[in-house]
């Protein structure tokens, strides 16, 4: 029997929590949930997620503001940032008790819907060599249904005013090959919106605008699912 699964898509919330959240089955967050990536900010974010009991699952990735490389270039606290992200990786109770699933170069299959998720917070500017980012994107499984990345693919919801395309060309190649049902990202605050191409729904779900104000709304996406899975392992 065909049924609809509703997703609420958000990204780039940057310590802001005063914005409306729609009803949905699953919440997707594509990173930059902090400003400085500190352990205190991560804990506040996780505590907020725990209160969102209207969502059966909350699937999250990190963004550049949670990246050690990003902050080390700005002489901020790389050791503290690394510790905060390790907290996400090691806390298995988040999924078991609160339905919070953190993905970094990993897949997760939801047993209730059969959807296969893949999440990765990499950005091309964080890679030392041109081929490095391609290696990361080539890890995306071809049977991925829902893809979460922090940055956009090239030429899709990736332009700020008065700029050229800021998205990743290598990510675009991989997405066009995999053809997920839904690809959610953020990073470029000014490019908030939804776009459909080649059978994939692309969503720039940035909540904050260029001034880091939470002026943009979550994006709702409904997907049909007819086949149920029996596994829920993070791979």
Reported as a single tens digit per residue, the pLDDT across 99-129 is 999 999 999 999 999 999 999 999 987 676 7
pTM (global) more than 0.85:
yes
Within 8 A by CB and 6+ apart from 131, the residues are none
Count, residues in the chain: 235
Instruction: At 20, list the tokens.
Output: 């409306």
**Mean pLDDT within 67-95:** 61
Q: Which of 3, 21, 12 has its CA nearest to residue 217?
A: 21
Q: What CA–CA distance (Å, rounded) separates 191 from 181?
A: 20
- Torsion sign over Cα 204, 210, 214, 215: negative
What tens digit of pLDDT does each residue of 153-185 get?
Answer: 999 999 988 778 899 999 999 999 999 999 999
Position 75 pLDDT exceeds 60: no
The pLDDT score that the predictor gives to residue 228 is: 57
Q: Which of 35, 44, 39, 7 has its CA nearest to residue 147?
A: 7
**Mean pLDDT within 38-63:** 94
Position 90 pLDDT exceeds 90: no
The pLDDT score that the predictor gives to residue 172 is: 97
**Mean pLDDT within 46-63:** 96
The pLDDT mean for the chain works out to: 89
CA–CA distances in Å: residue 230 to residues 5, 115, 162: 17, 11, 48
What tens digit of pLDDT does each residue of 17-39 get?
Answer: 999 999 999 999 999 999 988 88
**Mean pLDDT within 2-30:** 97
Binning pLDDT at 50, 70 and 90, where does residue 55 land?
Answer: very high
Binning pLDDT at 50, 70 and 90, where does residue 225 land?
Answer: confident
The pLDDT score that the predictor gives to residue 224 is: 94
Instruction: At 19, list the tokens.
Output: 């914005």
**Mean pLDDT within 50-70:** 89
How is domain 3-225 classified at the CATH fold level? Purple Acid Phosphatase; chain A, domain 2 (3.60.21)
Within 8 A by CB and 6+ apart from 164, the residues are none
């Amino acid at each position: 029997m065909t049924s609809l699964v509703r997703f609420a898509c958000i990204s780039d919330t940057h310590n802001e929590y005063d914005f409306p959240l729609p009803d949905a089955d699953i919440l997707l967050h594509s990173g930059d949930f902090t400003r400085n990536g500190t352990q205190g900010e991560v804990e506040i974010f996780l505590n907020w997620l725990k209160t969102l009991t209207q969502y059966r699952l909350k699937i999250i990735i990190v963004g550049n503001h949670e990246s050690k490389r990003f902050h080390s270039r700005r002489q901020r606290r790389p050791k503290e940032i690394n510790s905060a992200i390790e907290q996400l990786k090691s806390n298995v109770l988040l999924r078991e008790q609160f339905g919070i699933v953190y993905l970094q170069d990993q897949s997760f299959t939801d047993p209730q819907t059969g959807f296969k998720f893949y999440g990765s917070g990499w950005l091309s500017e964080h890679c030392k060599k041109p081929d490095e980012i391609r290696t990361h994107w080539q890890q995306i499984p071809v049977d991925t249904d829902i893809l979460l990345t922090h940055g956009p693919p090239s030429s899709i919801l990736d332009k700020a005013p008065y700029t050229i395309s800021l998205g990743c060309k290598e990510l675009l190649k991989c997405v066009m090959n995999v053809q997920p049902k839904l690809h959610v990202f953020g990073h470029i605050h000014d490019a908030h919106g939804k776009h459909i191409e080649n059978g994939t729904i692309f969503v720039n779900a940035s909540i904050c605008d260029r001034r880091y104000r939470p002026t943009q709304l979550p994006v709702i996406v409904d997907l049909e699912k007819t086949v149920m899975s029996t596994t829920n392992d993070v791979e």
